[in-house]
Amino acid sequence: MTAYQLSLVMLACISVITVSGVFTMTSLAGMFSLGQAAYMSICAYLTFVLARYLDWPIWFTAILGLLASGLVAFIISLPALKLRRDYFALLSVGFGEMVGAIVILLGKWTNAAVGFSKIPKVNGLVWIVLGITVLIVFMVRNLKYSRFGRMAIALKTDEIAARSFGINVYRLKVKIYVIASIIAGVGGICFGLRNRVIAPDSFDWSLSAEMQILLFFGGTNSLSGSAVSAASLKVLPELLKGVKLFGMELQDFKTIIYCVLIILIINFRTKGLMGEQEFSLAPIKKLAKKLNRQHKKEIAK
């Protein structure tokens, strides 16, 4: 594969990682946030700036970065998750802007708006990113089918009823918010390693909004659906590069096409393309069994 194709694969993977992070909080626990890109920013900057100035190995600073974004999420969530959902969403926008401003204030180390580009090159990055993506999706899937997933879906539907079954709503929300933010941090590190440059602009609120859009497009409660939509919708505009329609670059219409898609989805499939359905292997298994049976019959004849 060419380097360009590899970078497209990574682009898709990073999108899948960040969207599965958003999935844990929005689809499972019903917390709508427009600030998850801020955690990508926190984690990426910490990882690469520490690696650069303290000469620590990148895997070590990455762990520090992840811990830091988890810690920040924990501190933010203590007051924020006591708010009603809509106020929580508002607060998350403010938080995202604040992180961007802090990055610019610390320009001495982060190189402010110009962007921080002293990011080490990692060999075989695409395999690492692919591995991480598979791991993250696997973990989020397990979370969905565990007691935490069930309790989160319960509290999303009805908090009072959830409490009356002994579910500690607030603590569960904090836990899930922290996990979602750490996953966003993983996405941030991968983003930095792929692009080799990070700037405050790369993590502004429009990226957070994009994650939500990709999630809702794929299916509000479907992990596999939103992962597929995250990968394909992110890569699609790149593939359309150079395609011309009526003498105009199709890529220039990216935003318009996105918006039309979203309007169609919201009108005709309010829960996203897949809704609550997951892609599963069950139909394939059924087909295989059927074929097997036919095969045996033929042999019997």
Partner 1 sequence: MKPVILKTTNLHKNFGGVKAVSDFSFEVREGEILAIIGPNGAGKTTIFNLLSKIYEPDSGTIEFDGRDITKTSQIDVARLGISRTFQNARLFTGLNVLDNVKVALDYNARYSLIEAMLMLPRRWKYEKETSRAAKECLELLNLYEYADKRPDNLPYGLQRRVEIARALVVNPKVLMLDEPAAGLNPEEVFQLMDFLREIREKYPETAILIIEHRMDLVMNICEYIYVQDFGVTIAKGEPAEIQCNPHVLKAYLGEED
Give the whole-angstrom CA distance, residue 260 versus residue 257: 5
| Ramachandran class of 115: left when φ > 0, alpha when ψ lies in -120 to 50, beta otherwise | left
Among 5, 142, 206, 270, which residue sits at the site for partner 1 (rule: CB under 8 A)? 142
For 102, counting Cβ atoms within 10 Å of its Cβ (0-12 exposed, 13-18 middle, 19+ buried), the class is middle
Give the whole-angstrom CA distance, residue 275 versus residue 195: 33
Under the criterion CB under 8 A, does residue 31 sit at the interface with partner 1? no
Locus of tokens 């039309």? 260
| Options 84-92, 105-113, 140-148, 187-195: segment touching partner 1 (CB under 8 A) | 140-148
Under the criterion CB under 8 A, does residue 146 sit at the interface with partner 1? yes
Under the criterion CB under 8 A, does residue 67 sit at the interface with partner 1? no
Among 5, 117, 157, 206, which residue sits at the site for partner 1 (rule: CB under 8 A)? 157
Among 94, 125, 163, 236, which residue sits at the site for partner 1 (rule: CB under 8 A)? 163
Which three-class secondary structure state does DSSP give residue 198?
A: strand
Which three-class secondary structure state does DSSP give residue 245?
A: strand
| Options 73-81, 147-155, 248-256, 289-297: segment touching partner 1 (CB under 8 A) | 147-155
End-to-end CA distance of the chain: 48
| Options 50-58, 95-103, 165-173, 282-290: segment touching partner 1 (CB under 8 A) | 165-173
Under the criterion CB under 8 A, does residue 158 sit at the interface with partner 1? yes
Which three-class secondary structure state does DSSP give residue 15?
A: helix
Among 62, 143, 207, 231, which residue sits at the site for partner 1 (rule: CB under 8 A)? 143
Residue 157 vs 270, nearer CB to partner 1: 157
- Closest distance of CB 150 from partner 1, Å: 5
Contact 45, 110 (CB under 8 A): yes
Biggest alpha carbon–alpha carbon distance for the chain: 81
- Closest distance of CB 278 from partner 1, Å: 13
Q: Which residues bind partner 1 (CB under 8 A)?
A: 139-140, 142-143, 146-151, 153-154, 156-158, 160-168, 175, 179, 221, 276
